[in-house]
Structure 1
């Protein structure tokens, strides 16, 4: 304290000074509340400005605001950190992205996916409108059963469960399905509860959570459409096609199995029955014994295999029924050749449509009309004469363009009339005989000859072509 001045020091640094007045010391300088408080106030002002611009710009997102702030277009906005905005949630709420769920199952039947497809507008020959599928998560093996009604799911599930558990010696632990009434009925839930099967359901209107079964159904239907189209069969054969498609999928490599087939993962042994696979719908001739003079075979179509029977399932078009036989001769080459022939026909059509008609370089000669008018001229180059000639100018609305293609003998023949002016104009423009130029509506005098125009527009067109009055 010196001369009535109080000094507060920290080491060699004078922190503050105070002058004595009436037994009180008054601070010399300004009061600093604190850096934290100043920063907090600045942050609050910046947040308010950001919120203001956010609402001004129709509740724009942070990324858009940051781009405008970097360009210095938003006055007073510095930080673009938006706080919670209820209006943005109400107006922009979307569904949460679905991640790839992986079930780390350790063995077969630990986790089973199931789904019901239908109803189909087209009933099968057996009267089915639905099918239910069961997919083993570990091996991705699939079982498909067709149904007439959805309430048959429980009966089919019990039959499939007993068969599959007896053959594999394992129990179903978890069953995943959607919220369909066939899966959430009291009898179905009671069966699962009595058997100790854990149930997993999807959220309402969220089929992505049952993605394995849904994707398998899509794969099945893709194969069905391809096979029916290839065989030329109607939609009434969808049940036979989907049963055979499931048989094929179990013998195709699956990405979830790292390239192994579902049958190989299920049984632990490679599948070796590919030699019995045939083209769906291919012609087949099965052995019959009728009278001594009748043919020994009838023609049918291959539909797949019958469960538990060493024979082929065939469709006989003449008798309109399915038959099972082991004495069958197949003609797969007929379908292969048919597809090859169809491909050649399509290629021929494509080649023929791509051929251009060779045109003779002749002038475009319009037909004379009674009224004489002034119109643009067309210049051309003649191969035989070096001199340039000018086509006569006639009325535009009576022009008739002639096409001169070559006939089979190589001679030039002249059609009576050629109506496709676009097909004619394209090769002529490429040759450079005609210059294609866009003309504005106001500068086109041909309007009065091609469409009704007003009197004012009519006089304007006359002025363009240099006609003062009409007699």
Structure 2
């Protein structure tokens, strides 16, 4: 046995690294070791191998719609207005301009992509060339005894001639653009909900607002704002307001009367899509979201309670079926109160029974003539 063998001491010392062995020799703890026999240890590979982040630079696309990054996040609890539990993102790799859509189930991803594809290809006048996603069943398909069985999403990409790019299993960093966008969106949603007194089921409204904001502000990945690279125009931020702030809103109401108040109190929850207006949550007026372009904002008044403390809002993906919350009003039997019987007086007035009635007749006093 070669007592100066580095591999021998490598095993004796619990499979420490070669650098640690060299340090022991340098410090004089061990005699000169023979590192000529030091080789790759299979035991170390089995016990220590980690996922290494790729440091090589990935080539960026040179034009819009060359590559679309997509990912699905959810389910989130509680469900958003409309019963939505998931959201899907589509991010253009060149401009970083992103679209976000709320969906009920992961199987809705194909319909969302078809609508997205028709819209952006008509806007920019060119087709989508490639789509990058993970290997989830909604994108990649499933495996059976015959091998891979492509799902509807993969079949649609094949029919349209779109190059489908998939990440390797267990490597979400290969779809880093979409994964990072989802993290950023959820970070913003947490902050917006924590800063307001609004209920958590409005996370869908906060999510749409966060996606709208990210398209208008600079990014580290691109030299200009995503909106400018996407449309060729500089964004305008003059219509932005603090999410969750109080507002006096004048809704459209053709049945309003002359003396009715012209505004209702509400809370700002987002921007209208496709029109110049804002969205408001007015729980004292209706359970629906109101859209209006006539409102006065009180951006210094976000929390109704002066003693309000921002609450912690954990967001996570739970693979459970969450039913859409509905409010059930229990049937309450209201007892019928029997009214006391009444008697009719001499002149038709109602007299309650059981009460003493003074029926004494007062004699008339004769008048004396002078």
- Shared topology, TM-score over 0.5? yes
TM-score, normalization by structure 1: 0.59
Alignment of structure 1 residues 58-69 onto 2, 5 Å: 58-69=14-25
**For the Cα contact (< 8 Å) 1:66–1:80, is it kept in 2?**
no
Matching residue within 38, 45, 51 for 1:82: 38
Q: How does 1:51-450 map to 2 (within 5 A)?
A: 51-75=7-31, 77-79=33-35, 82-99=38-55, 101-185=57-141, 186-258=151-223, 260-272=224-236, 274-288=237-251, 289=253, 290-318=256-284, 319-335=286-302
Q: Report the CA distance between 1:75 and its aligned residue.
A: 4.1
2:337 maps to which residue? none
Match of residue 426 from structure 1? none
1:139: how far off? 0.5
Q: Cα distance, 1:107 vs. partner? A: 0.3
Is the alpha carbon distance of 1:59 and 1:326 closer, same or farther for their aligned partners in structure 2, counting shifts above 3 Å?
Answer: closer
Conserved in 2, the CA contact under 8 Å of 1:103 and 1:137? no
Change (3 A) 1:76 1:141: closer
Distance 1:89 1:140 in 2: 38
SS of structure 2 residue aligned to 1:333: coil
DSSP 3-state at the match of 1:334 = coil
**TM-fit CA distance, 1:76:** 5.7
Rounded to whole Å, the distance in 2 between the matches of 1:100 and 1:301 is 47
Q: CA deviation at 1:101?
A: 4.4
Distance 1:291 1:335, change over 3 A: same
Larger Cα-atom Rg:
1
Match of 2:347 in 1: none
Conserved in 2, the CA contact under 8 Å of 1:252 and 1:262?
yes
Q: Distance in 2 between matches of 1:181 and 1:80?
A: 49
For residues 261-303 of structure 1, give each alpha carbon's deviation from its aligned partner in whole angstroms, at most 9, with x where no partner exists: 100111222112x111111122222225522222111111112
Once the two structures are superposed, what CA deviation does each residue of 1:14-47 show, in whole Å capped at 9, x if it has no partner? Answer: xxxxxxxxxxxxxxxxxxxxxxxxxxxxxx969x
Task: Using the TM superposition, give the Cα deviation of residue 53 of structure 1 relative to its aligned residue in structure 2, in angstroms.
Answer: 1.9
Taking CA–CA contacts closer than 8 Å with sequence separation of 6 or more, which of the two structures ends up with the larger relative contact order?
2
Q: What is the rounded CA distance, in whole Å, between the counterparts of 1:129 and 1:240 in structure 2?
A: 13
Secondary structure of the equivalent of 1:257? Answer: coil
Distance in 2 (alpha carbons) for counterparts of 1:224 and 1:239? 9
Cα 1:333–1:100 change in 2 (3 A) is farther
Please tell me whether the aligned partners of residues 197 and 302 of structure 2 are also in contact (alpha carbons under 8 angstroms): no
Going from structure 1 to structure 2, the CA distance change for 1:100 and 1:307 (only over 3 Å counts) comes to: farther
Deviation at 1:84, TM superposition (A): 2.5
Count, aligned residues: 297
SS at match of 1:256: coil
- 1:49 paired with 2:14, answer no
Measured after TM superposition, the shift of residue 100 of structure 1 is: 5.7
Task: Describe the SS at the equivalent of 1:91.
Answer: helix
Structure 1 distance, partners of 2:132, 2:296, is 43
Residue 375 of structure 1 corresponds to none
Alignment TM-score, normalising by the size of structure 2: 0.74
CA distance in 2, matches of 1:271, 1:71: 62
Post-superposition offset of 1:314: 1.5
Q: Which structure shows the higher helix fraction? A: 1
- In structure 2, the CA distance between the partners of 1:322 and 1:128, relative to structure 1 (3 Å rule), is same
